[in-house]
Structure 1
Amino acid sequence: MLQEKHIDASIMVVKGDGCMMSEEMAREKPIETILSGPASSIIGGTFLTDTPDAMVFDMGGTTTDIAVLKNGIPLIDQEGASVGGWLTRVQAAQIYTYGMGGDSYIQINREGQIQVGPQRVWPLSVVADQFPQLVDELNITFEKGYNLMFAQATDCFMFLKRPSHAEQITDQEERVIEALQGCPHSLYYLTQFLETDPNLLDLQHLVNMGVIARISVTPTDILHVNGAYNRWNREAAIKGVDILASRIGVGRDEFVELAAERIVNELCYTCLQSMVSYEGQKIWLKDDATVMYMINKALSPAEDQKFDCSYSLNMPIIGIGAPIAAWLPQVAEKLNTDLIIPEHAEVANAVGVAAGKIMETVKVLIKPGEKDGTYLMHAPWERKYFEDLQEAVAYALDDAKRHASRAAQKAGAKEFELVVNHEDVYARASMLDNGDVYIETRIEVTAAGRPEWEREEEKEKFFVDLAGC
């Protein structure tokens, strides 16, 4: 790809904090690429808008990733990125991820309410574009009053791969796999083919193994029905919406309106939750009925409610990702803030990679030694005793600058700037003693620069090509 574009540039890899490193360093420390995808999007959104303080909102097919910018950079999670509930201790941008995207599963729960996500499914419109017979299958479905316990009447399934020899499946699951070998089928079709009750046909095990995939109504289908998006099979999306609408006794247009409001409100929740988390509060809004009562009054006010609530974000939202133009204007309106959708927002991730900087930080700590009048320097590469504090500080500063410079060069930076933070920490001995007691010296040196490019014109061409992708 790079050769086709006549780009002669070094291969750079994004780290979880949005900075860059060389291919060589990535091979040495591959774990530092955790959450690099969302981090790239954040850097791209910042670059495209030049907005220092904002909420970057990246909505994709599966998830929504949110980061809060201050002075143009996201907060760095000092405890490290969390993956699957486990702290990695790998420095990464503080990104809040939610199971809400264009492919989120739209369901009718047992109370007859519309629920969106967090599960991800294939949109009906997308799959039916390749397999239009699904539209015909959806014409024959379950009776309106039939109670489905584990599925939606709109659910269809398609085959992905054979299970491995180590994965145990039942005879019924094997027959499902055989039925889906040729093309996807609706749940109703499978129950007729297997001659079984749908509530006795739990296909989640095969879905969890990645053997089959669930297909159903999603926000992408809602956009096809209301005409905001028309890339795939609109007829399939309409059929799915009609089925769900009939199950709660409303018309197609009303269902689309209700579903759209639910989607927008869910996106508003993600913004509010992100701000609560950004402020250091370990509160999950949806777990508190009182909080949700007040939030819902603001997001979906009733015509006859006796008092109103409202919320506002004191910063704009930068929207990036394919579906944002359809949903974020209403989100910004409900949260009383400005919305910025930059040009080329759909490729902000790629722009973030091209615009990223190399930043390598070295930290050194100096503390009193075991003997009075001595000082011990703690650095990642050595421990060294000194009898004079100024000598220890001078040595630590020079050594930290040298190691930061080497790290930046190894990461791929040709030209860089050294930023030094030096802090001496003292404590008052007592209320009666005017003398201060030395505690420690903290030294932090950061080398920041751009990746090395062979020629400046190649860099400019790289950005032009990315924007045209």
Structure 2
Amino acid sequence: MADHLLLGIDTGGTYTDAALYSETLGVVARAKALTTRHDLSVGISGAVDAVLGKARVPVSAIGLVSLSTTLATNALVEGQGGRAGLVMIGFGPDDLKRDGLAEALGTDPVLFLPGGHNVHGNETPLDMRALDEALPALSQTVSSFAVAGYFAVRNPAHEQRVRERIRAISHLPVTCSHELSSKLGGPRRALTTLLNARLVSMIDRLIGACEDFLQRRGIQVPMMVVRGDGALISAAEARLRPIETILSGPAASLVGARHLTGLDDAVVSDIGGTTTDVAVLDKGRPKLDAEGAVVGGYRTMVEAVAMRTFGLGGDSEVRIDDRGLAARIDLGPRRFLPLSLASTLHPDSILPVLERQLRTAHVGRHDGRFAVRTGVPERLASGLQPQEQALYEKIGAAPVPLDGLLMTTPQKATLDRLVARGLVHICGVTPSDAMHVLGGQGQWDAEAARLGLALAARVKDGTGRPIADSPDALARRIVDRLTRQSSDVILSACLADDGVGTIDPAGSVAVDRALHRRAGIVRFQIALDRPLVGLGASAPVYYPDIAAMLGAESVIPADAGVANAVGAVVGQVRNSVTVFVTQPEEGVFIVAGAGESVRHVDEAAAFSQARERAMTGALHAARANGADEPAVTFAEEIDAPEVEGSRKLIEARFTATASGRPRIAREA
């Protein structure tokens, strides 16, 4: 093959995808393997070996590897992640009440230290005595630390000193807020830093697993990771700032959708096992969220595509509310291990239990549900409470039925906490199982799916009747519910983009009448103004009905199942650096950002240094991230109003952006 092949890998919650891409031929081969949580390299090797076998090419043909992942997004949507210690410098307990920080912190520990800086970078003395007292015990109960200092974006010295102290004593990963954002807004920066710290071990494991596999196969080429805005960064940078990989998979899918369809204007919806991600392509470019990515209900300071992520996928929990006269079915936001998949992985653990439960006359509240360890390393189970530890020890590598595991009501909450920590999966009925019953999917054990739905169909509604006559009838209701919920989330994202996000499609009578074409004197209609591009392995079975409900043209590209992997290799490296100039007093100008704060007495000299520093920093970052011959663009914002006849500089921002295609390994 004349040109080098680019290997794109996407590690999702259920599948790991691989695609070999040629810049002249397009997608040469594609393959999938199940994501293996206990050892991610197993799933990666399965997908990559399969794609190399299909293409019949040697490993020497590969010139670049690029990775996208939804693992970080899924973790935040499902409320998972490692336990992190938050250190706040110059803040007080009241600051936790802002930007959802207290809610995000949950039961994780927080320390407040005197210190921090003001807007011009001048310090309040730092006192680390409370840190020194707490660290020996604290470092035994957390897997990482987050450090956020007051105005650290103007002077990061205190964050850096605290980081060094924590590393010296605990030897654990530490994230500083100034490394993630140059924007003001301390509590939201602290929130972003906390989420980053929770994701460190997960992304570190993923990149390490990928690097180990590539090394074993003799693939020694540059490795990139997709960032949330669709740009590429080096694997080393992604390890330091894993928060930037939230929405990595969705961003890659958007880049891939544009490349695979050639459409400039489209609504792109990507359904995975755990989430549905919706974004808008406008004039050939994905829109970026100026306020920062929202994931799992938290608004971060991470610049990312304006993608809305919903806890709805093929592996979503099927929740049956039987309290009303008619039972109601809802899906998500938690991901379950589908019974059909669990039975394929553990045939002796699933089918006999489902058959036993079906033989009993009464309906059990835990029928058709199992618990199994996710297989993450034991060190990630640190800090469990005694009751959590006791339950965790009863759950093994093979699924355990919940009707034998949960003996008391409080144990259900304990199990939910183990699931939230990412230590345990619950196996149960999902839309994927419903599709196996209906014949839309067939890759796993359809018999387990049928037995699971037969159990669920026995649940009685408020009238005392079973909620469905047969597994097939219940399966159709579940798939219809997925069609409607998917339509709701797509509409919700599009309405928000149109500036009318106050309309809730799920609660609107008018929207309901329009979607179901209900007759009436007043006729309601809804339609999208552009095609709906469906992505994901299951897109062909779900999206024709969803597009029909939304009155949109359905576009499902041939490589829809590996759009993320394609997007991972066709993107660009892009890095921005912002430098600020402020005027604390007449005739004094402070240059801050991308280095030490510098004092000037001449505005023009300060501006000149700020421009030079931003450009040098952006070029250095882009080259460090593997860009080949990056080009630079500039943006300047100068806030200098006239006050009583004289000009007063409030703040000047100089932003340089360097971008280029990633460097590709050349043959010797």
- Superposed displacement of residue 252, structure 1: 3.9
**Paired position in structure 2 for 1:9:** 221
- Superposed displacement of residue 217, structure 1: 1.5
Of structures 1 and 2, the one scoring higher in RCO (CA 8 A, sep 6+) is 1
- Superposed displacement of residue 159, structure 1: 5.6
Q: Which amino acid aligns with 1:17?
A: D
Q: Which amino acid aligns with 1:169?
A: Q
Q: Which amino acid aligns with 1:266?
A: Q
**Paired position in structure 1 for 2:663:** 452
Is the 1:369–1:385 Cα contact (8 Å) retained in structure 2?
no
User: 1-side partners of 2:438 and 2:444: how far apart?
Assistant: 13
**Paired position in structure 1 for 2:467:** 248
User: 2-side partners of 1:301 and 1:421: how far apart?
Assistant: 49
User: 2-side partners of 1:309 and 1:121: how far apart?
Assistant: 36
Pair 1:274 & 2:274 matched: no
**Counterparts of 1:5-404 in structure 2 under 5 Å?**
5-6=59-60, 7=62, 8-26=220-238, 29-82=241-294, 85-110=297-322, 111=324, 112-129=327-344, 130-131=346-347, 134-141=350-357, 151=365, 153-158=367-372, 166-169=384-387, 184=399, 186=401, 190=404, 203-210=412-419, 213-246=425-458, 247-279=466-498, 283=502, 285=504, 289=507, 291=508, 293-302=509-518, 305-365=520-580, 370-371=585-586, 380-381=594-595, 382-383=597-598, 385=600, 387=602, 389=604, 396-404=610-618
Distance change (3 Å), C-alpha of 1:370 and 1:263: same
Q: Which amino acid aligns with 1:154?
A: G
Which stretch shifts more, 91-100 or 379-388? Answer: 379-388
Helix, strand or coil: the match of 1:215?
A: strand
User: 1-side partners of 2:280 and 2:251: how far apart?
Assistant: 12
Q: Which amino acid aligns with 2:336?
A: V
- What root-mean-square deviation, in Å, do the aligned CA atoms of Structure 1 and Structure 2 show? 4.0
Give the alignment's TM-score, normalised by structure 2: 0.56
Distance change (3 Å), C-alpha of 1:296 and 1:140: farther
Distance change (3 Å), C-alpha of 1:170 and 1:46: closer
**Paired position in structure 1 for 2:630:** 416
**Paired position in structure 1 for 2:120:** none
Is the 1:158–1:213 Cα contact (8 Å) retained in structure 2?
yes
Helix, strand or coil: the match of 2:547?
A: helix
Is the 1:310–1:335 Cα contact (8 Å) retained in structure 2?
no
Is the 1:362–1:403 Cα contact (8 Å) retained in structure 2?
yes
Q: Which amino acid aligns with 2:451?
A: K
- Superposed displacement of residue 229, structure 1: 0.9
* Gapped regions of structure 2 (runs ≥ 5): 1-44, 53-57, 63-219, 459-465
Q: Which amino acid aligns with 1:270?
A: V
Instruction: Please give the per-residue CA displacement for 1:104-159, whole angstroms capped at 9, x wherever unaligned.
Output: 112321221222222221211112233156334334437999576xx454334446
Helix, strand or coil: the match of 1:116?
A: strand
Helix, strand or coil: the match of 2:473?
A: helix
Q: Which amino acid aligns with 1:410?
A: A
Helix, strand or coil: the match of 2:633?
A: strand
Helix, strand or coil: the match of 1:420?
A: strand
- Superposed displacement of residue 177, structure 1: 6.6
Distance change (3 Å), C-alpha of 1:369 and 1:241: closer
Which stretch shifts more, 9-18 or 208-217? Answer: 208-217
Distance change (3 Å), C-alpha of 1:384 and 1:139: same
Is the 1:156–1:187 Cα contact (8 Å) retained in structure 2?
yes
**Paired position in structure 2 for 1:466:** none
Give the alignment's TM-score, normalised by structure 1: 0.77
Is the 1:320–1:348 Cα contact (8 Å) retained in structure 2?
yes
Is the 1:105–1:119 Cα contact (8 Å) retained in structure 2?
yes
Distance change (3 Å), C-alpha of 1:164 and 1:379: closer
User: 2-side partners of 1:167 and 1:439: how far apart?
Assistant: 51
Helix, strand or coil: the match of 1:244?
A: helix
Is the 2:295–2:309 Cα contact (8 Å) retained in structure 1?
no
Distance change (3 Å), C-alpha of 1:384 and 1:52: farther
Query: Who wins on radius of gyration, i.e. which is larger?
Result: 1
**Paired position in structure 2 for 1:464:** none
Is the 2:581–2:651 Cα contact (8 Å) retained in structure 1?
yes
